[in-house]
Amino acid sequence: MTVKKLKMAPERPRLPEWFRTRLPTGEQARKFNQTKATVDENMLNTVCQEARCPNIHECWAAKDATFMVAGQECTRGCRFCAVGTIKTPPPLDAIETMGLKHAVITVVNRDDLDDSGAGHYRRCLEAVRARSPTVTLELLCSDLAGDLDDLAMLLDGLELEVFAHNVECVPRLDSTVRDARASFSQSISILKESKRLRPDILTKSSIMVGLGETDEEVNQALALLKNAGVDLVTIGQYLAPSDRYLAVHRFPEPAQFDAWTIVAEGLGFLGCASGPLVRSSYRAGDLLAKATARLRTQMD
């Protein structure tokens, strides 16, 4: 009698010792709980929760939050992202706002819509601005299927401090990591055109590492982003949401993230957040404030 061996799922790599976060206490805990209660009571979608961000306590305690509009599911199926995927999403709803210092409005891809959701994103931002005129706003946008006319409609006269779009990974890994409808070159074209259309708005992007890239490829990707006019950049460690997603290829040590910060500063970025636990909207308000202060210094 032949006994069949059961196939075991590949063992997930253990997290290095530097992957530790601290829960807020005292006044910081109060602010976090206040933010969480507002999110829950208003039934808001936040990428902080949907993408299982490890920095949710730190950012919410600092009164930074990242809202997700245009639904909870995305029309794309990138192999790194914990956000759900759906072919035919439900109709769009509206968004209520909160009294924060800095708000990031992020979106799911809506390839099912003629304008890829640009009109809805704009209406959401205008509604937030009307209700909370003192809040600084950041849009973490999709690539709008590469349509530059939709981008122009979105940004025309829009009151916005930061336009962000993530390239996600180094160019060589596009076909492995991202949905087939996305690419580094398409993302770069959106970032470059946004800066041309609105030089008064800061542009921002993000790179994940641990997907199979080399250190030098990250350096090269940073150079490509700077050449496209990107002002702010974040670099963080990819963590697989579950066994159904891409496996982690490596865990660069904190010293390597520090080295990438030095590279970014040498290239002339106005701000860089680089570290194992950094995500694209990590302490976004703080990064904006530092970049704005640096711009003022340069103009003096």
Joined together, the tokens standing for residue 192 give 């470059």
Judge whether 20 lies within some domain: no
Judge whether 16 lies within some domain: no
> Over 90: is that where the pLDDT of 114 sits?
yes
User: 97-111, 130-144, 220-234, 253-267: lowest mean pLDDT where?
Assistant: 97-111
Number of domains in the chain: 1
CATH of the domain at 240: 3.20.20.70
User: 28-37, 168-177, 201-210: lowest mean pLDDT where?
Assistant: 28-37
pLDDT score for 256: 97
Cα(106)–Cα(120) distance, rounded to whole angstroms? 12
Those residues whose C-beta lies under 8 Å from the C-beta of residue 14, and which sit 6 or more positions away, are none
Bigger pLDDT: 279 vs 36: 279
Judge whether 279 lies within some domain: yes
Q: Which residue has the tokens 């890994």?
A: 173
Those residues whose C-beta lies under 8 Å from the C-beta of residue 73, and which sit 6 or more positions away, are 83, 84, 85, 86, 89, 108
Residue type at 58 in one-letter notation? E
Judge whether 102 lies within some domain: yes
Tell me the mean pLDDT in the region 116-130: 91
Judge whether 21 lies within some domain: no
Tell me the mean pLDDT in the region 205-232: 98
Helix axes 215-227, 184-197, angle to 10 degrees: 30
Above pLDDT 90, what percent of the chain?
53
Cα(237)–Cα(250) distance, rounded to whole angstroms? 9
Domain hosting residue 294, numbered range = 26-299
Judge whether 12 lies within some domain: no
Nearest to 249 by CA among 238, 234, 236: 238
Which pLDDT band holds residue 86 (cuts at 50, 70, 90)?
A: low
Residue type at 15 in one-letter notation? L
> Over 80: is that where the pLDDT of 37 sits?
no
Judge whether 250 lies within some domain: yes
Judge whether 242 lies within some domain: yes
| Average model confidence (pLDDT) across the chain | 83
